[in-house]
Copies of this chain bind each other. A is one copy, B any other.
Amino acid sequence: MLGLLTNPLKTIHCVDKVKIGIINVSDRASRGEYEDLPGQEVKRLMDLWLQNEWEAVYAVIPDEQPLLEKELKRMADEEACGLIVTTGGTGPAVRDVTPEATIAVCEKLLPGFGEQMRQVSLQYVPTAILSRQTAGIRGRSLIVNLPGKPKSIKENLEAVFPAIPYCIDLIEGPYLVPNEEEMKVFRPKQK
């Protein structure tokens, strides 16, 4: 297995275990008013789709932009998570600040993620256009905003995941090994 985990790109950032950040952004979940079902769904999907040994770096925080920015920075800069996903807080309401925090901490934005996730959600509900979810790069971490409902989390993450391992290769993060029976990912052949 170790062979597979070696990043074929020049700079290798991969250590023993891949770290993935999972942040449930929700006033109510942060007060303990309900279980962190969104976070559990992300964990379940990563277990299913990845062959790597991986470790979840977990947080449940209220819809407060400074708190979320701080947590995103910590997971990127201190924990060195190759992938950080947020759930919730992407709508038009006054307390929805997840995209703002994401934009604030990222060096590069990837508008294609939000476009494709809205596109996919539009197949289910016309209110998909109300989601402001985005994605971006901070250092060697890819940050992706997901919706708050477990069903939508799966629909969205399933749509963009095929591009995620190669994206993380390009930013010299950990080399993700997919479980090809459950999730086909795409890596162009190296020149």
Contacts and interface: CB of A to CB of B under 8 A. Distances in A.
A130 B127 CA distance: 24
A112 B130 contact: yes
Interface string A165-189: 0110011000000000000011110
A170 B129 contact: no
A165 B114 CA distance: 22
A3 interface: no
Identical chains in the assembly: 3
Given A127-B163, A163-B127, A110 B132 contact: yes
Interface residues of A, number: 39
Interface stretch (A39-47, A49-57, A91-99): A91-99
Contact of A132 (B94, B109, B116, B162): B109
A126 B170 contact: no
B186 A125 contact: yes
A137 B130 CA distance: 11
Contact of A126 (B96, B127, B186): B186
16 contacts: A92-B108, A92-B170, A96-B108, A111-B111, A111-B114, A112-B118, A115-B115, A116-B118, A125-B186, A126-B162, A126-B186, A127-B162, A127-B188, A128-B163, A129-B160, A130-B170
